[in-house]
Structure 1
């Protein structure tokens, strides 16, 4: 019999710009300890740790966890590009649900460098070469633009070509993100911006301006997961349960569709969301709050449709009508999202988990979504992996 899995504790440290952070060992230990304190769990109760990061040497996970304790437990290092944090969460949940363990730590951190993302190796094939080849065949290559912006900007272009939306529609997402982040003391960017300012910012890759691209960020976040039986025996907080979770990777449609939306993971996201809704018996219209992977405004827009938040071709109306924010149908990225909260790659999935846990507990302060009962998390990594997680309030 599958065990029910609860998020009994979460922790997150303020995200910062590169060069302003503590070392990853300190950040990771701080986030892990915060999650343990929130759960009321001692480190020696944790039976396994799953630790995610993208830029770091092997066993960096141990280096961070050892700052909390030396209990001899298994520590698994996880690297799945931008979906790393939620991949660690997925593995921790899976181990508990299967009955292998009762209590696990999922931790993610990143100590990033300034500038656009780039590979660490030049003497071997890039893991995203097949994606780059698909992009080259579809839209060419711009030597002056960052690679990631070309991927996701291309997805935005393809959406515009099909549906005829205005470039300002993407910019509205940045305005919304900053408005939300202004309420989040853990976010990197807390100053609001106007639509005019977003559109006037330097162009990175059409239709994306600089204010429509997530910043390189340093930070850490963590979660303590327990089986329901274990949590009840130890008097732990069972208000938040993982109702369903799915992880997907690429299929032939990623490379065979001549559509940049599919190259950057639209089909992975749609498939993971469908699995989650089917398992939980939930309709996307039932969701109250969503933390989705807005690495670029274009990806937030196409993800609305991939996740079923609005029907295909209706994302512009969804945005213009304010259905993606407070007072609308579903509040998306109340934390400010990757665009404004920041995107320390290995930490992002667990920062999303923390935000949604606080929302379902009613602990999100100025960001609180009234009456939140069902929350969806979407975390995407090019290369590729997508994890979609549904949380439900149980009390």
Structure 2
């Protein structure tokens, strides 16, 4: 059974604390800022929220209660979710399931993180992973970039254009961690992290928070919420990694499966997408993912990029928020930040980075390569 087999779910409120470098700001302040903004945006009281899902990846045990108690001790169910980079996406899906199934009429998904503890479970699982000390994430993606360039006869300059585009978009986003536009020369002149990937082609990991409130149609009517500002969650899909024929590209193969499932649920095809927010922790990922999603044919992402297809105002704006490269990647909130950006865009409230006449959008997130989430949002 898919989400769209149940009752409709709508995003009714969004809120953010800007993503930023690590600071002395307590995580509680980060989370409360986003949660209160989402409640204000929805124009409802916290007492109307019937369940909450708190997404974190690096905070200590059960931080959500320390945040939500300042909004009110309502006794509503509270669940903490950790799913690596996809923690926020997982929390959003669970909130949607609550509402779609009729368990709740209004549900809150809140992501908040500060980089206190980023130890991967694999390192302490007691079962050795032989490549762990040799193929760290940036090396893995540098190898993918090298293979992509050789296969498709493109250059490091071509790959770096992704960072140029996303940093340009991030400069327009008041919530982005990196808010400075950069030239191609500046992107390429930075320190090499691994292979051809430079520092500005990698996402910064800082701190921040994002909150999203979803509700049923009944709740929208009962609470007097403006129906002109709600956004339909048309599909929610998730998959975990399996064994692939093209093993080094497991991130891409998993993305292909999951986004195809989400689009099928929504009864949409890639050509209908006006916007995509995707997991561009490294520049090469955007080129890989738009191809496996079916937005462009294999090997055509660079030419489409150069033609402006993925720009704001292009056929399909990719990472209009600035993506992980510019918006930042505080881990727990990241997937919810994507949902909030797409909600702004579909409401036509995104200001200088507005994709014209946006109606259909896709949010995509992977977590340490092993899990993937995809959501389709639509303007009713």
TM-score (norm 1): 0.90
- Which residue of structure 1 aligns with residue 36 of structure 2? 33
Q: Deviations over 1:30-60 (max 9, x none)?
A: 1111101100111111111000000022211
Q: CA deviation at 1:6?
A: 0.2
| Consecutive unaligned residues in structure 2, runs of 5 or more | none
- Which residue of structure 1 aligns with residue 173 of structure 2? 184
Distance across 1 between alignment mates of 2:214 and 2:282? 30
| Consecutive unaligned residues in structure 1, runs of 5 or more | none
Checking the alignment, whether the CA contact within 8 Å between 1:21 and 1:219 is kept in structure 2 is: no
Q: Deviations over 1:126-146 (max 9, x none)?
A: 89x65x73x88xxxx37xxxx
Distance across 2 between alignment mates of 1:242 and 1:118? 31
Distance across 2 between alignment mates of 1:237 and 1:57? 38
- Which residue of structure 1 aligns with residue 16 of structure 2? 12
Q: CA deviation at 1:118?
A: 4.8
Among 202, 212, 233, which residue is 2:222 paired with? Answer: 233
Structure 1 residues 313-332: aligned runs within 5 Å: 313-332=299-318
- Which residue of structure 2 aligns with residue 336 of structure 1? 322
- Are positions 1:173 and 2:177 aligned together? no
Structure 1 residues 211-290: aligned runs within 5 Å: 211-238=200-227, 239-253=230-244, 257-259=246-248, 261-262=249-250, 265-290=251-276
Distance across 1 between alignment mates of 2:40 and 2:344? 15
Checking the alignment, whether the CA contact within 8 Å between 2:313 and 2:355 is kept in structure 1 is: no
Among 146, 153, 157, which residue is 1:164 paired with? Answer: 153
Structure 1 residues 60-99: aligned runs within 5 Å: 60-99=63-102
Checking the alignment, whether the CA contact within 8 Å between 2:14 and 2:211 is kept in structure 1 is: yes
Checking the alignment, whether the CA contact within 8 Å between 2:313 and 2:356 is kept in structure 1 is: no
- Which residue of structure 2 aligns with residue 380 of structure 1? 366
- Which residue of structure 2 aligns with residue 42 of structure 1? 45
Q: Deviations over 1:323-352 (max 9, x none)?
A: 110232211111111101111100001111
Checking the alignment, whether the CA contact within 8 Å between 2:57 and 2:118 is kept in structure 1 is: no
TM-score (norm 2): 0.94
In structure 2, relative to structure 1, the CA distance for the partners of 1:185 and 1:123 (3 Å cut) is closer
Distance across 1 between alignment mates of 2:84 and 2:124? 17
In structure 2, relative to structure 1, the CA distance for the partners of 1:374 and 1:120 (3 Å cut) is closer
Q: Deviations over 1:8-33 (max 9, x none)?
A: 00000111101x25111111111111
In structure 2, relative to structure 1, the CA distance for the partners of 1:343 and 1:172 (3 Å cut) is same
Checking the alignment, whether the CA contact within 8 Å between 2:238 and 2:374 is kept in structure 1 is: yes
Q: CA deviation at 1:89?
A: 0.1
- Which residue of structure 2 aligns with residue 125 of structure 1? 125
Aligned residues: 374
Distance across 1 between alignment mates of 2:239 and 2:6? 21
